[in-house]
Homo-oligomer: A and B are copies of this chain.
Amino acid sequence: MPWRPADELAQVVALEVLLHGPLARAELARRLDLAPATLTRISADLIDAGLLTETALPAERRNGRPSIPLDVVTSAHHFLGVKLAGDAVSAAVTDLRADVVDYFELPLDSTEPAAVVERICELVARAAGEHVIDAVGIGLGGVVDDEGRVSSAPFLGWEDVPLSSMVQERCGLPTFAAKDLTAFTEALHWFGLGAGHANFAALTLGVGVGYGCIANGRLLAGGDSGVGLVGHWPLDPLGPLCSRGHRGCAESMLTMPYLVRDISLALGREVQWPEFLTLAADGHPAARGIADASGRALGRLIAAIANLAAPELVVIGGEGVDLARVSMPAVEEGIREHRDPRAADVRVELTSGSNESWCRGAAVIALQGYVLDRRRVRSSAARTGSR
């Protein structure tokens, strides 16, 4: 039962239901500015096609005839989202709403493209054993073009690897690859904190600092986003030096390795990330100081994003997201410092930075590719600059 809305309008209706939860016909008609009659017809088609069903109506009761919410059959489709790291590949199986239903992981002993593809296909095979997988998405740090070709991924030593087509040929499933941050941001956009927002930004903390942005309802994708454009952003003229000799850049102020190094130096012993957070939360002076300086730096970065990209919301994620949690007041102070007091407050939200959330992002790339039928359709995206 493939996702094949009969025409463009059916596609729009199906997407609206997919993205904005169960919706009644009348509500859909209002949202999409269509006649009720049209919705009767379209929803009948979509129900016939197995894309939508009428839910068991726990809809809010008001006056008049009760509405019958329509919903997508979430369990009718499954996607595999693969996150590629330097030493392991992990994967999550999700349903049509990007809810994770299964999770696998495999170590990676070679970063040769062929070996990695092999590993990915092992995951695909394992997942396919338990679920019917409709498409595969792969997320990795690096520059990936629209066709899923990895033009550069330093952490794997890759240049110009046609990853998605390699996997697709090897395992026979539609495969899409994208930069990990693109995937993460799109997942927030369709099913996460960014749902319903036409302008928001995502920021991830971890081994590096990542940035993704939805502007006017679509991803901001410069040709070379992905080379780590915010990674070395100068945030504190008095901060420590980073590997490239910048003083107080995002890498040196916000990434886990540097912060762990700083706290270890300060205490004269090896301190791990969780302990650092605990110490900071408990008010240990050295840890507090480092966390606060870091939080202020993060706030400045958020302010920069807010000033230039005008998001309604900034979502923080990544495995180091707890840094923001323990230094929220400093973050807010940093924002105030670099933001005009007359401007509206920046809304900052935190989200999970587990590895699963990266996989989920990759699954959303698969889901989008499948549902929007990428690879075939390029025409509608061709209209460039107008309006």
Interface residues of A (CB under 8 A from B): 15-16, 19-20, 31, 33, 152, 189, 194-199, 211, 213-218, 220-225, 227-234, 237, 304-312, 338-340, 342-344, 379-380, 383-387
Contact = CB atoms under 8 A, between A and B. Distances in A.
Contacts of A379: 33
Given A189-B385, A215-B220, A233 B16 contact: no
Contacts of A232: 340
Nearest to A152: B342
Interface of A is mostly: loop
**This chain: copies in complex:** 2
In the A-B complex, list the 10 residue pairs whose CB atoms are closest, starting with the nearest: A222-B310, A215-B215, A237-B237, A229-B307, A216-B216, A227-B342, A216-B218, A308-B308, A196-B385, A224-B343
Given A227-B340, A237-B237, A386-B15, A199 B222 contact: yes
B229 A387 contact: no
Contacts of A338: 233-234
A16 B386 contact: yes
A369 to B, nearest CB: 14
A229 to B, nearest CB: 4
Contacts of A307: 229-230, 233
Contacts of A221: 310
A380 B33 CA distance: 9
Contacts of A340: 227-229, 231-232
B305 A308 contact: yes
Contacts of A19: 386
B308 A304 contact: yes
A15 B387 contact: yes
A84 B344 CA distance: 25
A194 B217 CA distance: 20
A19 to B, nearest CB: 5
A233 B343 CA distance: 14
Contacts of A213: 308-310
A225 B33 contact: no
A197 B218 CA distance: 15
Contact of A308 (B189, B211, B343): B211
Q: Considering residues A224, A228, A339, which has the most beta carbons from chain B within 10 angstroms of its beta carbon?
A: A224
